[in-house]
Amino acid sequence: MCHIRSDSTDKTFDPDPNLVVGFETSDDAGVYRLSDDLALVQTVDFFTPIVDDPYAFGQIAAANALSDVYAMGGRPLTAMNIACFPCAAGMDVLARILEGGRDKLREAGVVLVGGHTVTDNEPKYGLSVTGLIDPRNVITNSGAKPGDLLILTKPLGTGILTTAFKFDKVSEGDLAEAVSFMRALNKAASTAMVKVGVNACTDITGFGLLGHSCEAALASGVTFVIRAARVPVMSRVDDLASEGILPGGARQNQEYFARWVHFDDDVPQYKRAVLFDPETSGGLLISVPEGTAQRLMDALAELGVERASVIGEVIPGRRHGPSVRVLAS
**Can you give the length of the chain in residues?**
329
Q: Which stretch binds Co ion (CB under 5 A): 77-85, 152-160, 189-197, 211-219?
A: 211-219
**202 forms part of the interface with Co ion (CB under 5 A):** yes
Q: How far is the CB of 29 from Co ion (least distance, A)?
A: 7
**Which of 67, 176, 83 shows the shortest CA–CA distance to 123?**
83
**313 forms part of the interface with Co ion (CB under 5 A):** no
Q: Which stretch binds Co ion (CB under 5 A): 102-110, 212-220, 230-238, 274-282?
A: 212-220
**68 forms part of the interface with Co ion (CB under 5 A):** yes
Q: Which stretch binds Co ion (CB under 5 A): 42-50, 73-81, 126-134, 237-245?
A: 42-50
Query: Binding residue for Co ion (CB under 5 A) from 20, 33, 39, 45?
Result: 45
Q: Give the number of other CB atoms < 10 A from CB of residue 185.
A: 21
Q: Which stretch binds Co ion (CB under 5 A): 146-154, 175-183, 203-211, 238-246?
A: 203-211
Please give, one letter per residue, the 3-state secondary structure of 70-124: HHCCCEEEEEEEEEEECHHHCHHHHHHHHHHHHHHHHHHCCEEEEEEEEECCCCE
Query: Binding residue for Co ion (CB under 5 A) from 20, 21, 28, 240?
Result: 28
**280 forms part of the interface with Co ion (CB under 5 A):** no
- Kindly state the number of chain residues that form the binding site for Co ion, as judged by CB under 5 A: 6
Query: Binding residue for Co ion (CB under 5 A) from 97, 144, 199, 203?
Result: 203
Nearest residue (CB) to Co ion, 21 versus 245: 21
What would you report as the CA-atom Rg of the chain, rounded to the nearest whole angstrom? Answer: 19
Q: How far is the CB of 298 from Co ion (least distance, A)?
A: 25
Q: Which stretch binds Co ion (CB under 5 A): 6-14, 22-30, 298-306, 314-322?
A: 22-30
CB-count exposure of residue 262 (10 Å: 0-12, 13-18, 19+): middle
What φ, ψ does residue 203 adopt, rounded to 5°?
Answer: -95, 155
**Edge-to-edge strand order for the sheet containing 75-85?**
19-21, 30-35, 38-47, 124-133, 75-85, 111-119
**279 forms part of the interface with Co ion (CB under 5 A):** no
**Which of 55, 126, 59, 129 shows the shortest CA–CA distance to 94?**
55
Residues making contact with Co ion (CB under 5 A):
28, 45, 68, 202-203, 212
